Amino acid sequence: MATILVNHLSFSYPTEDGKKPLTLVDLSANFPSGDFSLLTGPSGSGKSTLMKIISGLYPKFGGIVTAGEVRLNDTKIQDIPERDRGQLVAMMFQNPNQQFAMDTVERELIFALENQCVPPAEMMARVDRALEYVEISQLRHRQLNSLSGGEKQKVALAVIIAMQADTILLDEPFASVDPVARQLLLSKLSRLQREEHKTILISDHDLEDYDQYIDHLFVLNRTGDSLVLLDQEAANQKMASFNRQDTSKQHLNLPLATDQSTIQGNQLSLTAGTSTLLKQPDISFFKHYITLLTGANGTGKSTLLMAIAKLHQYDGSLLLQQKEIAKIRNKQLFSQVALVFQDADQQFLNVTVAEELALSLKNSQAQNYFKDRLADFLKQLHLDQLQDHVVYTLSGGQKKKLQILEMLMMATPVLLFDEPFTGLDFNSLQTIMAIMKQVAHDCHQTMIIVSHQLFGLDALIDYHVTLENKQLQYVEGLA
């Protein structure tokens, strides 16, 4: 077991012009040994930065500590040899793609254990246990790049469990998992803490489901200069506001016979490897409407979006404005359809925020509209002061806001969103949804949104389609 002590810590990401703005300012906290602690705060407050400092990744791989220190069991984290540190602390990133190094699930787990110099005789037993513990044994031989976002997060958690570190750090570990998997994984982590006396620290903006598991709730403010441990009453009040909504009572209309189809599938079939994900006699998505697409992890939601964007092969017929997507020339299709990737880093093409925005504006189909409104949108999203920042130094939530904004700026008639709300705090979520709805209306866009985040979506969407048992179906509620 390990006690984490943060002592008057200040941290900076130097900018290209030599400035050293502080991301974290004079923070102090004690995360007790053997306890389950939750760290929350707004998008961009520095939660991920603090986690990476505690793990020993920073400042070695980014930024500088300008004051203070982090200690693990009374030893400065930088003074612990890397091999020993791996036995003491392990971290799961917000974006699991950033820590995968191998091609298959099994090889990824083995690679992590080889780096820890685990004896070969012990290695496979650890792999077996970790996969079974997270209930993903069926993914053992799958290619990592074929997995859904939620499946990747489960694999990353299995790697952490296989490493058997005393302290487990998890950065937004449930951002892409469905609600059932979220509750399952939380219960598994709680069991690790209770039965194996692990010290667990999770960073999350979404406090849903944590109330029955955590011992401590820490809150980091937006400016990164206040880290507060809430007392039990204050913690209970804060978490109560995140209680799961009964979305089944939120009514949505079914499409009307008069709605105009913009995307239509007939005898549509989608596969991934040897698995059939979708066998659909017919389905339509309707022009100028916003449609939510939901389903469990790994059911094929992202694959369907990729097929519409001509990034995944399909069988049967899939039409865009009555033209077969597979036969539309790429240049023509990409002027009609754009896909907002689940991983924001894969969308960025330039170095700074300003350069990203300039590229989107240059290629926009609604240049005048966005020239008039861009400054206001940036201010609403708290991105206006970040334009000289390198995009890869932004927080996960800031990246998502930038990614969504720059793809909205393209103003394509059809815009597909794959888990656009991961890493966003409640206020950011409300703001980005309002901007999406405004732009969709003003620019006459059709949107399809894949999301496990359902809170508040009734104010954004028009229709809801579920993907279950390889079938798509319109439903009248959000459940």
Between vectors from CA 401 to CA 369 and to CA 47, what angle results, nearest 5°? 160
Side chain identity, residue 377: F
Dist CA 419 CA 344 (whole Å)? 10
pLDDT digits (tens, 9 = 90+) for 26-64: 999 999 999 999 999 998 899 999 999 999 999 998 899
Average pLDDT over residues 249-260: 88
Dist CA 94 CA 159 (whole Å)? 14
Helices and strands (DSSP H and E) totals, the chain: 13, 20
**Secondary structure (3-state) at 392:** helix
pLDDT digits (tens, 9 = 90+) for 267-289: 999 998 888 999 999 999 999 99
Average pLDDT over residues 2-18: 85
Written as six digits, the tokens of 81 are 């040899």
Dist CA 410 CA 432 (whole Å)? 16
Dist CA 153 CA 175 (whole Å)? 8
pTM to 2 decimal places: 0.85
- Domains along the sequence of the chain with CATH: 4-240 (3.40.50.300), 247-475 (3.40.50.300)
Exposed e or buried b per residue across 119-131, where buried means at least 16 C-beta atoms within 10 angstroms of its C-beta: eeeebeebbeebb
Answer whether residue 244 shows pLDDT above 80: no
Answer whether residue 245 shows pLDDT above 70: no
Q: How many CB atoms lie within 10 A of CB 372?
A: 10
